[in-house]
C-alpha cells in the first residue's frame, strides 16, 4: 500500500514539471492557458507535500501499531 502512495506522490511532481514547461513555452502566445497551468502547478506541488506528509504519518502509525 505504501509503495503505491509513494509513486502517486511523484506523479504529482511530474504534473507540476509538465505544467511549468507549458507555462514557459506558452506565456507569450496564449496567456489564458498559462494561467490555468499555473493553477495546475500550484495544486500539484501542494498535493505532493500533502500526500508525502500523509504517507509518512501512515507509515509511522503502522510502525507504532506493530510494536
Instruction: Read off the pLDDT of residues 20-63 as tens digits, 9 standing for 90 and up.
Output: 999 999 999 999 999 999 999 999 999 999 999 988 998 899 88
Question: Given this model, what pLDDT does residue 51 score?
Answer: 92
Chain Cα centroid distance, residue 39: 12
Q: How far apart are CA 11 and CA 25, in angstroms?
A: 21
- Residue 11 pLDDT greater than 70, yes or no: yes
With a CB cutoff of 8 Å and minimum separation 6, the contacts of 2 are 55, 58, 59, 62
Q: Do 23 and 41 touch, CB atoms closer than 8 A?
A: yes
Q: Which grid cell sits at 26?
A: 506558452
For 49-60, the pLDDT digits (tens) are 999 998 899 889
CB atoms within 10 A of CB 48: 19
Question: Given this model, what pLDDT does residue 1 score?
Answer: 63
Amino acid at each position: 500500500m505504501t509503495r503505491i502512495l509513494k509513486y502517486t506522490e511523484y506523479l504529482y511532481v511530474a504534473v507540476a514539471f509538465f505544467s511549468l514547461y507549458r507555462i514557459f513555452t506558452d506565456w507569450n502566445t496564449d496567456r489564458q492557458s498559462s494561467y490555468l497551468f499555473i493553477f495546475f502547478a500550484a495544486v500539484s506541488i501542494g498535493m505532493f507535500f500533502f500526500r508525502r506528509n500523509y504517507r509518512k504519518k501512515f507509515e509511522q502509525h503502522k510502525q507504532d501499531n506493530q510494536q
